[in-house]
């Protein structure tokens, strides 16, 4: 009986900590604003953009650049002009530019070719050099990766993702956020992820503090070649810890959860949690892989330089509609055409991106220098750098998170206010993973940051 009483008391202690959030006066989540952003997404506008992009015939990286109606040149100029039109509706709130470099001597780009991406920046009002980025791909391809002349509509791969980026810009540009948002169409994805490599290098050279990348690649198909039709799930791919750390960081990672997790995976958790909170009839499948087997996406170049990023995409792929010459063989139709796109589904995944970006852009600086102590002690102590100055003007405080080590999502949390440290009494460090997020006055919240992990979000 005595053991039962002790066990029950321990459970009550943990439960009281987990439920103590209300006692700490955490700001309520600003659900109304985010729900309004989600409701503003238009499947009709996304459909129109996908049809326009598919109508350029081909958007292959090696295709025509001089025509106004066909090829990659016409497509990127139209995207640039569309960003400018969006900017005109918000008083010039977008800085629209091209970011490019010349690539040659590559397997899929043998001759010198200018790879040009289109970038639109919506500057934050308080912390303009902190960014969240949403990307889609401009280019398309058919069976032969070097075929720059055949028709390649690329309606789902990846006019759907590009249309989602444009729609996100239309919705969020009508509002102001503390941090900045980058909307971008990246080129050269099918030829080797060159657009992402070029933009990631440009970001580092110009001191852009990109804290999260949401790469949207194929967000419009609901019927897979596996026979499954499902418009209520999406996948989010995220890699684990990269080998870019000091021995001290590696040692810390082994004890904090970083050996199985990363900033990218905490971003994926935020995407999952956001879907549950804001997107009706959408369940996120978190896939703990960088990408599909033998495949690649434009979040990878950002991950490679230490910028957290995930890939958001459909759950069930139809391979007859990817990288295929347009044809019909034995009654089987091949090719990535508009008929294979579900516009309502593309709108749903676009809304998911919008809800995530609104929270990150609206939040204070992501917690920095998070550390943890508690070995051979009954309690766990976390500390971090308390944000100060103009960039932290909307800081309400911080939330401490913890979860059992076999759980995929954060299960316990406590809002602890505008402090730089906190002790979780009688929560044993050995039994959980821990993290910290920053919370704005309106309830916007950052992704969770692991203590001492390399490649983290921290400022």
Q: What is the pLDDT of residue 454?
A: 42
pLDDT band at 277 (very low <50, low <70, confident <90, very high): very high
Both tokens assigned to 12? 């009550």
Q: For the chain, what percent of residues have pLDDT higher than 90? A: 85
Which 8-state DSSP code applies to residue 445? B
pLDDT band at 213 (very low <50, low <70, confident <90, very high): very high
Average the pLDDT over 91-118 and give the result.
98
Domain borders along the chain are 32-362, 367-452
Strand 327-329 vs strand 309-314: parallel, antiparallel, or unpaired? unpaired
Handedness of CA 101, 215, 97, 181 (dihedral sign): negative
pLDDT band at 1 (very low <50, low <70, confident <90, very high): very low
Q: What is the pLDDT of residue 23?
A: 38
Both tokens assigned to 322? 């990817």
pLDDT band at 322 (very low <50, low <70, confident <90, very high): very high
Average the pLDDT over 341-353 and give the result.
98
pLDDT score of 98 more than 80: yes
pTM above 0.75, yes or no: yes
Q: What are the φ and ψ backbone dihedral angles of 384, each rounded to 5 degrees?
A: -160, 170
Tokens 């292959």 locate to 60
Mean residue pLDDT of the chain comes to 91
Average the pLDDT over 387-412 and give the result.
94
* Host H or E run for residue 248: helix 247-256
pLDDT score of 255 more than 80: no
pLDDT band at 3 (very low <50, low <70, confident <90, very high): very low
Tokens 């659900």 locate to 31
Q: What is the pLDDT of residue 240?
A: 85
CATH number of 367-452: 2.60.40.10
Domain at 32-362, CATH from 3.40.630.10, 3.30.930.10, 3.90.1150.10, 1.20.1440.230: 3.40.630.10
pLDDT band at 226 (very low <50, low <70, confident <90, very high): very high
Q: Are 178 and 129 in contact (CB under 8 A)?
A: no
SS3 258: coil
Please tell me the least confidently modeled range out of 24-28, 92-96, 167-171, 213-217. 24-28
pLDDT score of 27 more than 80: no
pLDDT band at 10 (very low <50, low <70, confident <90, very high): very low
Q: Are 26 and 439 in contact (CB under 8 A)?
A: yes
Q: What is the pLDDT of residue 7?
A: 40
The residues that bridge with 130 in the sheet, in sequence order, are: 209
Q: What is the pLDDT of residue 5?
A: 40
């Amino acid at each position: 009986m005595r053991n039962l009483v002790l066990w029950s008391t321990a459970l009550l202690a943990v439960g009281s900590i987990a439920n103590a959030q209300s006692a700490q006066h955490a700001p309520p989540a600003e659900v109304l604003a985010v729900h309004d952003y989600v409701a503003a997404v238009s499947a009709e506008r996304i459909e129109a953009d996908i049809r326009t992009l598919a109508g350029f015939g081909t958007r292959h990286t090696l295709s025509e650049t001089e025509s106004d109606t066909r090829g990659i040149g016409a497509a990127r100029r139209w995207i640039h002009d569309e960003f400018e039109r969006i900017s005109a509706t918000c008083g010039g709130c977008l800085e629209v530019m091209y970011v490019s470099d010349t690539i040659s001597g590559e397997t899929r780009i043998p001759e010198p070719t200018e790879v040009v991406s289109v970038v639109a920046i919506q500057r934050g009002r308080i912390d303009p050099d902190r960014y969240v980025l949403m990307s889609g791909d401009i280019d398309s391809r058919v069976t032969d990766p070097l075929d720059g002349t055949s028709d390649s509509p690329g309606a789902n791969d990846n006019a759907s993702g590009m249309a989602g980026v444009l729609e996100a810009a239309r919705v969020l540009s009508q509002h102001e956020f503390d941090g900045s948002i980058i909307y971008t169409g990246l080129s050269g994805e099918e030829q080797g992820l060159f657009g992402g490599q070029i933009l990631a290098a440009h970001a580092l050279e110009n001191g852009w503090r990109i804290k999260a990348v949401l790469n949207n690649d194929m967000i419009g198909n609901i019927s897979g070649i596996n026979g499954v039709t499902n418009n209520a799930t999406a996948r989010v791919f995220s890699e684990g810890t990269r080998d870019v750390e000091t021995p001290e960081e590696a040692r810390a990672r082994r004890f904090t959860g970083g050996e199985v997790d990363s900033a990218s995976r905490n971003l994926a958790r935020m995407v999952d949690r956001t879907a549950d909170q804001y997107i009706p009839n959408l369940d996120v499948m978190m896939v703990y892989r960088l990408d599909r087997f033998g495949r690649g996406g434009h979040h990878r170049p950002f991950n490679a330089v230490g910028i957290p990023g995930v890939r958001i995409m459909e759950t069930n792929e139809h391979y007859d509609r990817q990288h295929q010459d347009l044809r019909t063989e034995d009654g089987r139709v091949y090719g990535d055409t508009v008929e294979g796109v579900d516009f309502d589904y593309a709108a749903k995944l676009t809304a998911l991106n919008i809800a995530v970006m609104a929270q990150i852009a609206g939040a204070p600086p992501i917690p920095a220098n998070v550390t943890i102590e508690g070995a051979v002690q009954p309690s766990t102590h976390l500390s971090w750098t308390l944000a100060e100055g103009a960039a932290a003007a909307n800081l309400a405080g911080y939330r401490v998170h913890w979860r059992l080590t076999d759980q995929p999502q954060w299960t316990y949390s406590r809002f602890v206010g505008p402090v730089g440290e906190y002790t979780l009494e009688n929560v044993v460090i050995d039994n959980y993973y821990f993290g910290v997020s920053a919370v704005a006055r309106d309830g916007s919240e950052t992704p969770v940051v692991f203590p001492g992990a390399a490649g983290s979000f921290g400022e």
